Amino acid sequence: MSADLAARRELAFRAAAGQGLIGPDQPVVGLLDLDAVREAAADLRAAFAGPEVLHAFAVKAASLVPVLRLLAEEGMGAEVASPGELAIARAAGIAADRIVLDSPAKTVAELREALALGIAVNADNPQELARLDALVPGSGTASPIGIRVNPQVGSGSIGAMSTATADSKFGVPLRDQGAEEWLVRAYADRPWLTRLHIHTGSQGVALPLLAAGVRAVYELAERVDDAVGRRRITAIDIGGGLPVNFADDTVRPRFRDYADTLRDAVPGLFDGRYALVTEFGRALVAKQGAVLARVEYAKSAGGRAIAVTHAGAQVATRTVFAPDSWPVRVQALGPTGRPKRAAPVVQDVAGPCCFAGDLVARGRELPLLAEGDLVAILDTGAYYFSTHFAYNSLPRCAVYGFSLREGGGGVRFEVVRRAQTIAELVAESGG
Ligand SMILES: *Cc1c(COP(=O)(O)O)cnc(C)c1O
């Protein structure tokens, strides 16, 4: 599978250059391997086979309607955290009963809409629960409702992505004084509260820590059921956060590794008493995508070779602003999309933005890049080209999905999102 990923990607780069999807007039595009996305969805289904489960794709990882539609064909629902993400999920045809709303700052209007549609809601905090108290009883809503719990199991390797620290902004902090008792009471008092939700972090959280969080919530579910005297919790939403390997082409850890870790740490989770909800994002699409950008100029400063490309902070925001937490692999390609073979030279790979830190790689050893070459930024199918940063009024780049034709018949591209036009950009800027 990993060898296939790399081989398919190389074919796609050449085909994109050959078909003119990337070139002087389209100097940056996102590419997504649609077959590999389907394979990842199949791996996820297989890993969690057994209990009733809804796999809700975290829309923020790739907020692109055709991608959600493809994942829906693979049986997935959607996890949304804003009115925009909800609208995108619905535009992809995802049914309300396969959508989970998790935002930490839901307005009353958003809650009302979710309840009217029958979308699952996970309340973040006691004040949100009080709002639900005013909206749910007597409403006849079909929405399953839960509370997001912060198990406070600690941080992964990236602080900004770790949601289960002692003082994280997310959820009800389980280990704070009196919190567990408050939670058990909250469920005992409300027959319509039937789910528990947790999401321990995105990227940088190792499997044992993810499993420790799930175990804490599982134990809370048991406590609630004990206190109520019968089965109240019908589903446990274990969130997402399977980390992605950005260092090479192997897919590790795999969904299966995480499910095995959970089977060891929380065996009761899989015995069928609880339905499961998952909310994976990155692990379904990251390694399946790449940014392809043209080298506009190749220069040198202070003895350092610098390739000035069209991929910078607008498509690789986290990498540019937090390079130590989000290093990415960069491949040097010739104008035809074939890998350059020359001896490596230390160089910077810069973006088009007007600030000095706009670099996707610093001091990287790569074949010397020249004007007209291409760079491929790998593993960027999640949170990169789909999560545009509008600095310098750079337009959103086009995104193409690709698949291989049967029998070696070449690469077929389809538009996932066309490039934003300058006219659209002006209109969006109040013009
Ligand atoms: C971001 C997020 C996810 C997805 O995280 P990944 O690391 O992309 O799997 C799932 N659930 C919630 C609540 C999130 O905020």
Q: What is the pLDDT along the chain (431 residues), one digit of tens a residue?
A: 455 999 999 999 999 999 999 999 999 999 999 999 999 999 999 999 999 999 999 999 999 999 999 999 999 999 999 999 999 999 999 999 999 999 999 999 999 999 999 999 999 999 999 999 999 999 999 999 999 999 988 888 888 777 788 888 999 999 999 999 999 999 999 999 999 999 998 888 999 999 999 999 999 999 999 999 989 999 999 999 999 999 999 999 999 999 999 999 999 999 999 999 999 999 999 999 999 999 999 999 999 999 999 999 999 999 999 999 999 999 999 999 999 999 999 999 999 999 999 999 999 999 999 999 999 999 999 999 999 999 999 999 999 999 998 877 799 999 999 999 999 999 999 99
* Dihedral angle over CA of 147, 197, 200, 95, nearest 10: -120
Signed CA dihedral, 263, 268, 269, 272: sign only: positive
Span from the CA of 346 to the centroid of ligand 1 (angstroms)? 35
Spatial separation of the C-alpha atoms in residues 316 and 207, rounded to whole Å: 26
* Partners of 29 in the β-ladder: 292, 398
Please tell me the predicted confidence (pLDDT) of residue 275.
Answer: 98
**What's the count of helices (H) and strands (E) in the chain, helices before strands?**
12, 18
CA-closest candidate to residue 81, choices 246, 202, 249, 218: 202
Please tell me the predicted confidence (pLDDT) of residue 3.
Answer: 56
**Is the previous residue joined to 253 through a cis bond, with omega within 30 degrees of 0?**
yes
Q: Which atom of ligand 1 is nearest to the CA of 163?
A: 15
Spatial separation of the C-alpha atoms in residues 104 and 212, rounded to whole Å: 22
Give the pair of three-digit tokens for residue 128.
Answer: 């949100």
DSSP annotation of 252 reads -
**Shortest-distance Cα residue to atom 15 of ligand 1:** 199
The structure tokens 């109040």 sit at: 430
Spatial separation of the C-alpha atoms in residues 309 and 293, rounded to whole Å: 6
Span from the CA of 302 to the centroid of ligand 1 (angstroms)? 42
Please tell me the predicted confidence (pLDDT) of residue 111.
Answer: 98
Span from the CA of 241 to the centroid of ligand 1 (angstroms)? 6
Task: Using most ligand atoms within 8 A of CB, pick from 103, 279, 280, 384 the residue to mutate for ligand 1.
Answer: 279
Q: Which atom of ligand 1 is nearest to the CA of 283?
A: 9
Burial 316-351 (b: 16+ CB within 10 A, else e): bbbbbeebeebebbbbbbbeebeebeeeeeebbbbb
**What is the three-class DSSP state of 16?**
helix
Span from the CA of 137 to the centroid of ligand 1 (angstroms)? 29
CA-closest candidate to residue 326, choices 384, 412, 365: 384
Span from the CA of 401 to the centroid of ligand 1 (angstroms)? 23
Spatial separation of the C-alpha atoms in residues 102 and 81, rounded to whole Å: 5
CB 67 within 8 A of CB 46: no
CA-closest candidate to residue 335, choices 23, 6, 7, 3: 23
Task: Using most ligand atoms within 8 A of CB, pick from 37, 43, 55, 60 the residue to mutate for ligand 1.
Answer: 60
Amino acid identity, position 382: A
The structure tokens 């590419």 sit at: 31
Task: Using most ligand atoms within 8 A of CB, pick from 169, 170, 202 the residue to mutate for ligand 1.
Answer: 202
Please tell me the predicted confidence (pLDDT) of residue 157.
Answer: 83
Give the pair of three-digit tokens for residue 195.
Answer: 């789910």
Q: What is the pTM of this model?
A: 0.97
The structure tokens 């074939």 sit at: 338
Task: Using most ligand atoms within 8 A of CB, pick from 55, 59, 79, 122 the residue to mutate for ligand 1.
Answer: 79
Span from the CA of 202 to the centroid of ligand 1 (angstroms)? 6
Span from the CA of 123 to the centroid of ligand 1 (angstroms)? 16
**Residue ranges around ligand 1 (CB below 6 Å):** 58, 60-61, 79, 102, 199, 202-203, 239-242, 279-283
Span from the CA of 323 to the centroid of ligand 1 (angstroms)? 21
Span from the CA of 215 to the centroid of ligand 1 (angstroms)? 18
Please tell me the predicted confidence (pLDDT) of residue 201.
Answer: 87
Phi and psi angles of residue 289, each rounded to the nearest 5 degrees, phi first: -125, 160
